[in-house]
Amino acid sequence: MLPILLGLASALTWGAGDFTGGLAARRVGAYRSVFYAEVIGVIFLFIIIGLTGEDLPGTRTMIFAVLAGMLGTVGLMLLYHAMAIGMMSIAAPVSALLAAALPVAVGIFAEGLPDFLTILGFGFALLAVWMISQSEGGVKDILSHLSDLKLPLIAGIGFGFYFVLMHEATGDGGAVIWPMVFSRLGGMTLITTYLLVTRSNLKIELGALPIISVNGILDLGGNFFFILAGQAGRLDVASVLSSLFPGATVMLAWIFLKERLNRNQWIGVAAALVAIILMTI
């Protein structure tokens, strides 16, 4: 049960983080919101390290964590940009579909097939992501606007590689906080380079800092719970459960932004619950 609970905690925290990230992106732009969330996250992590005294990990862990951070940051920038210019309840689930699929393929190749009920749970989880990502027009509407989904789809690839690489960095059950630091540093390096090359203005309104700070802390929480879930169980199980984060994003968008959920999306929520039950049996 522990990997299941940790994976669900990751999904809930990441989902809330993506909701606040989308709000921040609408105020200051996707790239600036991700940059400042990364900075705030690193500061917070160093405070935690100062309190816990966690030992510095080896070079291999650092390298994989930096690569994971870079690819994950690409995913975040593209997702937040997509959420800033469109509906949160569409962009988040589409990105999660590929984010879940890639680690499942890697997990099956590296660790073998899980038991039948877990595989069935994977199927329901992917169905959940697909159904939640549908707008009022259903599948035809999504396929007819496939070009509009290119950013969430590419973001999902970035998230999928983040899952795989971060699990590789932390799967030995060792350090947790330091890999998150190097992951953030990798992401900050990439986005800083982008902002310098494009000569983007880093100035933001001070009123946006609270929502950006909440986003940065929630994103750290999602990472923390995902790492623990991967250490306690299989990569594919941790990744699929963590990829249910759009459920939280969609529900928050429904509550606070009045983005209406249609019948297909409610079916997706039900499918997610079935997936969770199958994985816990």
- Residue 62 corresponds to which tokens in the numbers above? 């650092």
The pLDDT value given to residue 136:
56
The pLDDT value given to residue 194:
85
Report domain extents, the chain.
2-280
Q: pTM score, two decimals?
A: 0.82
Q: What does the pLDDT look like over 7-42, one tens digit per residue?
A: 889 989 988 988 898 888 888 887 888 889 989 999
The proportion of the chain whose per-residue pLDDT surpasses 90, expressed as a percent, equals 28
The pLDDT value given to residue 63:
95
The pLDDT value given to residue 54:
92
One-letter amino acid for residue 265 of the chain: Q
Q: What does the pLDDT look like over 228-256, one tens digit per residue?
A: 998 988 888 888 888 887 777 777 877 88
pLDDT at 134 over 70: no
CB 166 within 8 A of CB 226: yes
